[in-house]
Amino acid sequence: MKILVCVTSVPDTTTKITFTDNNTKFNKAGVQFITGPYDDYALARAVELKEKLGGTVTVLNVGEADTEPVIRKCLAIGADDAIRVNADPTDAFFVAEQIAAIAKENKYDLILMGRESIDYNGGQVHGIVGELLGMPSISPVMQLDIDGDTARIVREIEGGKESLEAKLPLVLGCQEPIAEWKIPNMRGIMTARTKPLKVVEPTSKDTLTNVSGYELPAPRGNVKMIPADQVETLIQLLRTEAKVI
């Protein structure tokens, strides 16, 4: 089983987002970067599958050199080797083309991604990669088991879930509870230092979208507190003041 896991390096979920240069640049000052939480689920399941079925797990990131701590952490969690495509991941199509180029060269049985990145929340890279490779793509995957060349999958749908079966190779966007997040142990951290991390240059430069600036949401007004002995007035206020019911 040859598995590719695509990971993002994103601001920690507790980060307060701000911008600089007249709202044209994300302010990285003081921001802690982590593996995308959904990518972490994908990686955890990939490592479990490798332990069960044998094979290799390769981690791939499209990003500049500052994403390497996140890549090393993925190696510490149990990936065997890593590839970094040295480029600013400006656009989902651009990222998908890099991933597809590497997948064409290396022929993976499974390409696991997160359901969505938590910076741009596009949820599109897996589908684009699937289309570029002519492979089925499925997202969001909550359960994944492999039986020979068949994948048994549970996918979330509105208000419930669906059980699916498909033949490998596949591209999957993952989410909980596919596996528990893994924390690297000391031995993992030591061996990660010597695992191969290959840096390659992008093979194409096409983008289809371009961000021109950012804005922060307007703050909510002050909260109106309703005394606990008059909770019924809330319903009146929702009707007459907020006008939502």
Partner 1 sequence: MSVLIFAELDEGKLRKSSQEAIFYGAKVAEQLGTSATAIVIGQADESELATAGRFGATNVLHASDAKLNEPNGMAYATVVAAAAQQEGTKVIVLAKSSLADAMAARLVGKLRAGLAANVVELPDLSNGFRVKRSIYTGKAFAFTDLTADVKILAIKKNTITVEESDATASVDTFSPALNDSDFGIAVKSTDKATGDVLLPEADFVVSAGRGLKGPENWGIVEGLAKALHAATACSKPVSDLDWRPHSEHVGQTGLKISPNLYIACGISGAIQHLAGVNSSKVIVVINKDPEAPFFKSADYGIVGDVFDVLPRLTKAVQAL
Ligand X SMILES: Nc1ncnc2c1ncn2[C@@H]1O[C@H](COP(=O)(O)O)[C@@H](O)[C@H]1O
Q: Which window, 44-52, 101-109, 120-128, 183-191, contacts ligand X (CB under 6 A)?
A: 120-128
122 binds ligand X, rule: CB under 6 A: yes
Which x/- pattern, by CB under 8 A, does the window 174-213 give for partner 1?
Answer: -xxx----------------------------xxxxxxxx
167 or 198: CB nearest partner 1: 167
* Beta carbons of 81 and 198 less than 8 angstroms apart: yes
* Beta carbons of 115 and 174 less than 8 angstroms apart: yes
Which x/- pattern, by CB under 6 A, does the window 20-59 give for ligand X?
Answer: ----------------x-xx--------------------
**100, 101, 107, 111: CA torsion to nearest 10:** -30
- Nearest by Cα to 172 from 8, 33, 39: 39
In one letter, which amino acid is 119?
D
How many of the chain's residues bind partner 1 (CB under 8 A)? 78
For the record, the structure tokens of 100 come out as: 């597809």
Subset of 67-86 contacting partner 1 (CB under 8 A): none
Which of 8, 9, 35, 139 is close enough to bind partner 1 by CB under 8 A?
139
89 binds ligand FAD, rule: CB under 6 A: no
Subset of 32-51 contacting ligand FAD (CB under 6 A): 37
Q: Name the β-bridge partners of 151.
A: 146, 166
123 binds partner 1, rule: CB under 8 A: yes
- Nearest by Cα to 118 from 213, 209, 232, 31: 31
61 binds ligand X, rule: CB under 6 A: yes
191 or 209: CB nearest ligand X: 209
**Cα 25 from chain centroid (whole Å):** 22
What SS3 state is found at 19? strand
88 binds partner 1, rule: CB under 8 A: no
